[in-house]
A and B are shown apart, each in its own frame.
Chain A
């Protein structure tokens, strides 16, 4: 929907630039005033597109300031300004197009534009093309962060063009990684996408999984007895009774319009009650309808007359299910991509599992060390002095508290672990030991 809007808007814009080029940035902003005043993530896209397309000088500065909540609007005529603090609590207005001062104003005469973070994200994504090759590394990083959060197809070529000129190795590495991520999502040819997917094997980053998982989204589909048509990217065939409940499978057929719905028991009872004629239902006296078998017979008789929807028997249901093929089908039609993505994700989950094992092992080791330390302290005191140290628990507490307090004062963990034991020793000395 948004894309259609964008296209329509772009088409409109291609008719409009004459008007925009004549005026300056202020005139352009004036035409989009309503959207800029009350922006929303869903509606701001076309406006930003138009701003960027106009190629007016100062558009990038305006967008940047807008994102940082530094654009103000004059209440009287709706014009947008940057401001600088002036004397006497007033603000100096600065023209957005020329950067020249445009007089003083009271704070009460102005409204500060405060786009919400959804809108700020969209603005940041639109700014990427201005910032990605900016001489200031800080701004290049900003652009990369914006891309990591919210990128679209157009960004891939911009990003690729900006990699070679990059001089800072760390930023270059990040750009390359991001380029691979975007290639997975938006790349054009199969080979490069597969290569990009495979390059993430064993990468534990959440962003890598976030790019791969959408490729593997499946939906449950029903095909008739001829089987799955060629060209369908099947994740797996589901065998009724083993992978999928036959009742659920039949329900799927009903939803697909391939089978008649089952008439539930209570509806059948109601149908019987509604069709009582002279004390009989379908030729069977009401007094005989005490068993389910009799009721079924009566219902079948009614169905034969066409008075009620026909019963769907278990055999019929089983037959219908057996005549169809159920399969999980990938939304992505290209099997090479999904195969690569699945293999890569398997490799990633192996790595993640290994890290988790390491994590738990370290946790176990550290907890075991604490117990060991406590136990060995007790044992040594007893072994050397022949007295059970009833105050051993207190000493452990002193150590723990000292460690805690020292870490509050010294945030660096390494230094604080060096300081804490000596403080702890002093504390225990002053306690009479």
Chain B
């Protein structure tokens, strides 16, 4: 009974909020609407809420500077609730009902794939701020996170060259991102001369907790005297059990190093990091990056969101994407999607690690690759940093995508076959 009342109140509150928002929108005709499509509830809320807050902070700062094209920015926040089909519905709602000019959103690859048909049909504009598996390019999406060649491949090189790893365990959660990434990495390792029997691949479901058998298998890989390393595309809370089991088996990062692609400051802030010290993560940004612009960003973020909050890589990607969009709108003089898309390519903006990000014709960014060792305080010690690397939508390491290219300026195609010199398809392959 009590619960029902609570839900009724919540529902009424939500209804009123929506009404107020809608009214506010009618009252102020002269605003530019920015859609925020991040899960605020469900399994992904822990990661995505931060990005919603980041967009809100950036909008607030931009409005303080006088907005864009003389108009104020207005955020329209929706909650797709970590429900992948709901992402498509909410995107349609943002584009048709709220008529937003741009959207910032999505985290998991499956949510992005769900939104793609909608924004391509309605000609929307989406900024996707998370590292992903590549093998995709849409005219309506700007990928400000890392492509595999900006995260997975350099991390593997680091394992091979700096740590001397000879045997690889590719552990991942069972969905599209780990599977595609591991497929690329497997091929890459074989090209590097690692025999197939020295590559161990394993997938586990979301939220997997019984790691003892898998960790024992990984340890047993070392029985032939070769150094073993783990490349982890394990997502979400399954990581906790995995690292705990590694520590319980008495394995330190010096024995079997683990490099993770989905563990950042935000994920570590809720964890006991004693088991994780020395393990690695590969990103394009760490909070510990030593640059004045980063110090400034962290200060603003803490002032906006709270002293205990941390910054992470997808936040930086959101920051770059948002500022590039603002500059592109200013350059185009309009918020029209086609004009902004054209103006976006070639945009340059300083990233938070002290170099410059450039938007390429394939709608990916140039990004430096950083590798960090986890510290006891949940921050990362940066042990390797490269010059900015241009993002590659279609990986060169798989035979089926080697000849594909994405170029929305010269070729006007996201999936161009350089061998047959034809555009395979104009829409992305969802």
**Chain B nearest Cβ from A37, distance in angstroms:** 13
Please determine whether B224 and A118 come into contact, CB atoms closer than 8 angstroms: no
Tell me which residues from 176 to 217 in chain A have a Cβ below 8 Å from any Cβ of chain B: 206, 209-211, 213-214
Question: Residue B296 at the A interface, CB < 8 A?
Answer: no
- Judge whether B405 is part of the interface by a CB distance below 8 angstroms: no
Q: Can you name 5 A-B pairs with beta carbons within 8 Å? A: A40-B161, A42-B161, A114-B382, A116-B383, A206-B223
Name B280's closest neighbour in chain A (CB-CB).
A117
Contact B381 A69 (CB under 8 A): yes
- Please indicate the chain A residues that have their CB under 8 angstroms from the CB of B254 in the complex: 117, 120-121, 149
Q: How far apart sit A114 and B382, CA to CA, in the bound complex (Å)?
A: 8
Proximity string of chain B (268-282) to chain A, C-beta cutoff 8 Å, 1 when within and 0 when not? 000000000010000
**Contact status of A117 and B278, CB under 8 A, knowing A41-B164, A214-B225:** yes
* Nearest chain B CB to A44 CB, angstrom units: 11
B123 close to A (CB within 8 Å): no
Question: B224's contact among A114, A115, A117, A214, by CB below 8 Å, is which?
Answer: A214
- Among residues 244 to 264 in chain B, which have CB atoms less than 8 Å away from a CB atom of chain A? 253-255, 257
Tell me whether B97 is interfacial, beta carbon within 8 Å: no
Number of B interface residues at 8 Å Cβ cutoff, please give it: 21
Q: B222 at the A/B interface (Cβ < 8 Å)?
A: yes
* A214 nearest CB neighbor, chain B only: B225
A119 to B253 Cα, complex, angstroms: 13
A214 partner residues in chain B, CB cutoff 8 A: 224-225
B 362-399 to A, binary, CB cutoff 8 A, 1 in contact else 0:
00000000010100000001111000000000000000
Residues of chain A from 200 to 238 with CB closer than 8 A to chain B in the complex: 206, 209-211, 213-214
User: B86 an interface residue at 8 Å Cβ cutoff?
Assistant: no
Closest Cβ of chain A to B129, distance in Å, is: 28
B contact residues around A115 at 8 Å (CB) = 383
B162 in contact (CB, < 8 A): yes
Q: Count chain B CB atoms within 10 A of each CB in A116, A121, A206 and give the residue with the most.
A: A116
A118 to B253, CA, bound (A): 10
Q: Is residue B64 within 8 Å, beta carbon to beta carbon, of the partner chain?
A: no
The DSSP consensus for interface residues of chain B is mixed
Give the dominant DSSP class at A's interface: helix
Q: Which residue of A lies closest to B279 (CB)?
A: A117
A144 to chain B, nearest CB (A): 13
Mask: chain B, 343-375; 1 = CB below 8 Å from A; 0 = not: 000000000000000000000000000010100
B381 near A209 with CB under 8 A, answer: no
CA distance A206 to B224 in the complex (A): 9
Q: Give the number of residues in A that approach B within 8 Å (Cβ atoms).
A: 19
B219 at the interface (CB under 8 A from A): yes
In order of increasing CB-CB distance, the 4 nearest A-B pairs are A210-B225, A116-B383, A209-B223, A213-B224
A213 touches B223 (CB 8 A): yes
- A residues within 8 A CB of B219? 206
Complex-state Cα separation, A73 to B231, whole angstroms:
33
Q: Which of B227-256 contact A (CB under 8 A)?
A: 253-255
- Which chain A residues border B1 with CB–CB below 8 Å? none
Complex contacts, A120 vs chain B, CB 8 Å:
254
Contacting residues, chain A, for B381 (C-beta < 8 A): 69, 114
Is B223's CB under 8 angstroms from A117's CB? no
User: Residues of B with Cβ closer than 8 Å to A?
Assistant: 161-164, 219-220, 222-225, 253-255, 257, 278, 371, 373, 381-384
Q: Check A118–B225 contact: CB distance below 8 A.
A: no
Q: A117-B253, A117-B257 are in contact. Are A41 and B163 (CB under 8 A)?
A: yes
Q: Tell me which residues across on chain A come within 8 A of B278, comparing CB atoms.
A: 117
List residues of A (22-47) whose CB comes within 8 Å of B's CBs. 40-42
Against B, the Cβ 8 Å flags (1 = close, 0 = not) of A270-287 are 000000000000000000
The smallest C-beta distance from B259 to any residue of chain A, in angstroms, reads: 11
When distances are taken between beta carbons in the complex, the residues of chain B under 8 Å from A121 are 254
For the complex, give the distance between the alpha carbons of A279 and B420 in Å.
Answer: 34
Q: Is the CB of B223 within 8 A of A114?
A: no
CB contacts (< 8 Å) of A42 on chain B: these are: 161
Segment 119-178 of A: residues with Cβ below 8 Å from B: 119-121, 149
* In the complex, residue of chain A having the shortest beta-carbon distance to the beta carbon of B219: A206
Out of B162, B225, B382, name the residue touching A213 (CB < 8 Å): B225
- Least CB distance, A306 to chain B, in whole angstroms: 37
State A404–B29 Cα separation when bound (angstroms). 58
In the docked arrangement, what's the CA distance between A209 and B384, Å?
Answer: 33
Shortest CB distance B287–A (Å): 15
Q: How far is the CB of A28 from chain B (nearest CB, A)?
A: 25
